[in-house]
Chains A and B, each alone.
Chain A
Amino acid sequence: MGKAIGSERLGDLYTGGKVKKRREWRGVEDTLYDYKCWLGIMGMLAKYLVRPHFLKGFLRYRWMLNYISVPAMIDKHTVGLRGNHLKIAHEEYDLVAEDVAKLLDTAFKADRYCGNDEELSKKIVVLDENEMFAIMNGFPTLKGISWETAAVYVAVLLQGDAVTGYLDAIQEMGLPGDVCPMPAAEAGTAVLDDFPLFGACAVQCNTTCDGSLLGNGIMARRYEKAGIPVFQIAAPLRHTEEGVQEYAAQEIRNAIKFIEDCTGEKWDWDYYFENTKRYNEENRLRYSWMEMSRTDYPQVIGANLALYAETTYMAIAGRVPDFVEADRRITKLAQESFERKEMLVPEYRHRAIIWGVQAQYYTDFLPWLQNCWGILPLVDMLSLVYWDQLSEDDPEQAIYDLGKLYQEMIMRNRTHGGWEVLLDDLWRFCEYYRADMVILWEHISCKALTGMHGLFEERAKEHGIKLVWVNHDLMDPRVIPKQNIRDDVNRYMRTVLMEEPIDPSLEVLDDDKLW
């Protein structure tokens, strides 16, 4: 153990319990930096927790208990990292953690059951977790908040089995267990009334799949019961076609009008373009990180790219200046490391595209791929989103841009729109990023992905790409535990490629109880 990457057997840190034996030793400088960040997170959590409405929320909602593992969540995504790569990870995760804390703070303050700040509640538009937040970019005095993000999406990142109770609740009501666990868990949370109630109105979207769309129906009924009016943005599925763009734009116009009618606020173009400029810059910077991944020295890859990109692209969408500032710092760090030809793990064996939808309960699988097998997760499907620049001065074009964003939001841009964007684009990206391997997340209840199973196999063979299937059930680790996910890779690497791991201590881990 020491300063050098790969100087420690990382699997030896696991104890089979909630916590590891000790913190990873990364040399004096990196360990102190990492510890300082850890203390910062603890301090930030304490700062929010002492607020009365926050404490009330913490005690009222059972999913809040997962938040005590925030530091552990950051630890598991920084495992094995050193130097600038460690700093990049902390820039990202620490900022996201604070942003989520602010979200919770606002939500609990406005919540009818906690802070019950009615004036604040009137300034909030409730959004879906899996929806572009860009519709709020023209409303300077309003906040877009998704309680689903806090209760379900982030909760599972923190603790793999966080939503199994909600899945049980909705299944008890009659929903089969074969639908996607994410909307099912959200529906279960709604059925148990275990979510903060606030908002002047709600704007939903037919986001990524049939399950998500239908789950919205349960939520809409709940909002209706609480007197919160709901609008649904029905973004077209065939998003590559010109014929649907006018319809998509009109949906955006209708959504804006709905928000204006419900809140009495007016859409502000100046504010919209101010946010859009930041959004464009964020996308340009993110694109530059991915361009580095075409070279022999990728710098921002794996979970560092995937999780952060989802947040900045979809939930922040330019509204928070802190993020673009962080992006600039990350770009500088990445550039420095690139020039110094720094590596993330001691040996690079395979360059992989991560396709499909990641297991939400095992997002640190990507660092594991690097550390255990030397497989570089260069880019992932969810990060390969719409990177055209949005208009920064033309209101008419801006509406069409927004329409396009809602059609081509994360995941949806690949799972809908015909096979070309899911199947054909994959091989183009393999060529572009010089990948020899595809790690294909097979989210078993995602029908859009599994519906191309056979053709993925056939095309991979045609293109000479090594295709590794990795099965999971998104938010339900009871169906496919983490070790099964690792074993999908272990088996392929040992039996098909006949390789030995870089760090054998990571091949089999007793981490079922780990946060």
Chain B
Amino acid sequence: MKDLKHLIFFENLLEDCNNELVQKAQAEGKKCIGNMCYQTPEVLMELDGVFSARLRAPRTGGFEMATYYLTSFLCEYSRAILERALEGGYNHLDCLLVPDGCTMINRCVENMELLKTIDKEGFFYKYLEVPMKCDDNALNLLVSESRAKILQPLHDQFGCDISDEALRKAVERYNKLCRLVNEIGDFRKEDNPRITGYEFHIICMCTYVCPKDLLIPYLEETLEELKTREPDEKPPYRARVALVGSEVDDVDLVKLIEDAGALVVADRFCYGSLPGRKEIELNDEEDVLLQICRHYMVNSQCPRQMNLEKVNGRKEYINQIAKEYKVDGIIFEQMKFCDPWAYERTTGAYDMREKYNYPVLTIDRPYAVGISGQLRTRVQAFVESVEIKKLQGGK
């Protein structure tokens, strides 16, 4: 296929947290709101005058300093972020809003704060209590926490308008971006997709780490380009897979999988579009903040949501997207030392195999896979097994 016009531009945006668009937005006077998890409603950080940026640690090498503070038993995402913070890599942020979600992210950010890693004047941290169930009580909690620890500080510190009208406007802008991402992503449903999983991953990740209004023109142009893009006559892949699991902000993982012969057609992971880029639907009757919080609570696929409906619902959701994107197999990934996804990978992989009858590859992986030969071999073997299964008529 012909290269996408802006792919290198998108890739460059992911080379650094303080990227070209972040710098441009800050030069225009906007404040950069750091966040680390789906469970702090991203759209609330998209009010006029601010923009959200989810933390990554691109081009991570080692994390020796962070390992001293967190030990080698915490996941590499939390260590990579702390290391980058200790190196001064987040000094462009104006605040950091995080959930008391998984323990490791929580400890990572606490270390960042106690070690005074970000010295920007007026910089502040907020830790949100976020729901671990999906019910009315949990919704009330998320609403009150979002009001007290996101909206009010943004109003008090940066003068943001936090009225219902302002929230609706933010949702509108957010939805515009989601529509674009989803339209681009929908091409992956084609029998012979005109976009690769890698390209989509790069585009989707940019939407988490860049000011959205500055990114939208590039997405619009890319969408137009894709509408007329001709896929290769003979697809280079041998199996369609869904990539499911924990946080993936590594540019190399999807690439490695696709180089090994699989096409990643569905991205059900943190930093992915399913359900991270689902549009927020608002009605005119209910409180806007309540509706926004409900969207995040109901759609969250985080394994920390513990009620049985959610536990079983997560597996059913994977089955749904697997059908919708016509996958031949599922790759269940987990960042090593991630407790929530360790359990979810175990039960999820079991259900996908035993209950839903999908071929499943489960992997635990480092934060940055680079050119892991071991992982490549495992994916290659998985692709072969899926091919054999196809030849044998699914047996």
State the A residues within 8 Å of B (CB): 170, 173-176, 178-180, 187, 204, 206, 209-211, 213-218, 220-221, 224, 230, 232, 234, 236-238, 241, 243-244, 246-247, 250-251, 254, 415-416, 418-419, 423, 442, 444-445, 447-448, 450-455
Contact = CB atoms under 8 A, between A and B. Distances in A.
Contacts of B337: 176, 178, 447
A234 B110 contact: no
Given A206-B132, A221-B347, A451 B308 contact: no
B104 interface: yes
A230 B306 CA distance: 11
B296 to A, nearest CB: 16
23 contacts: A175-B346, A176-B336, A176-B364, A178-B73, A204-B306, A206-B306, A217-B303, A221-B311, A224-B308, A232-B307, A238-B100, A238-B129, A243-B144, A243-B148, A244-B129, A247-B137, A247-B141, A450-B70, A450-B74, A451-B71, A451-B104, A454-B70, A454-B111
A357 to B, nearest CB: 13
A445 B306 CA distance: 21
Nearest to B69: A454
Given A175-B342, A215-B343, A447 B73 contact: yes
A459 to B, nearest CB: 9
Given A174-B362, A450-B74, A238 B127 contact: yes
B343 A218 contact: yes
A248 to B, nearest CB: 9
Contacts of B345: 174
SS of B interface (majority): helix
Could you say which interface size class chain B belongs to?
35 or more
B133 A232 contact: yes
A244 B141 contact: yes
B250 interface: no
Contacts of A179: 339, 342-343
B140 A247 contact: yes
Nearest to A239: B129
B61 to A, nearest CB: 20
B145 A243 contact: yes
A174 B349 contact: yes
Contacts of A244: 129, 141, 145
Contacts of A176: 334, 336-337, 342, 364
Interface string B121-158: 00000010101110101101100110010000000000
A220 B311 contact: yes
A179 B364 CA distance: 13
B306 A216 contact: yes
B372 interface: no
Contacts of A444: 71, 73
Interface string B30-59: 000000000000000000000000000000
SS of A interface (majority): helix
A450 B71 contact: yes
Given A234-B306, A445-B73, 19 more contacts: A175-B343, A176-B334, A178-B337, A204-B306, A214-B304, A214-B340, A216-B306, A217-B343, A217-B347, A220-B308, A221-B311, A221-B312, A232-B307, A234-B307, A243-B148, A416-B100, A450-B74, A451-B106, A451-B110
Closest 8 CB pairs of A and B: A451-B107, A454-B69, A214-B343, A210-B339, A234-B132, A450-B71, A174-B346, A247-B141
A418 B345 CA distance: 28
A209 B303 CA distance: 13
Contacts of A418: 110, 127
Given A175-B346, A178-B73, A448 B311 contact: no
Nearest to B148: A243
Interface string B20-31: 000000000000
Contact of A237 (B100, B104, B342): B100
Contact of A453 (B71, B106, B108, B336): B71
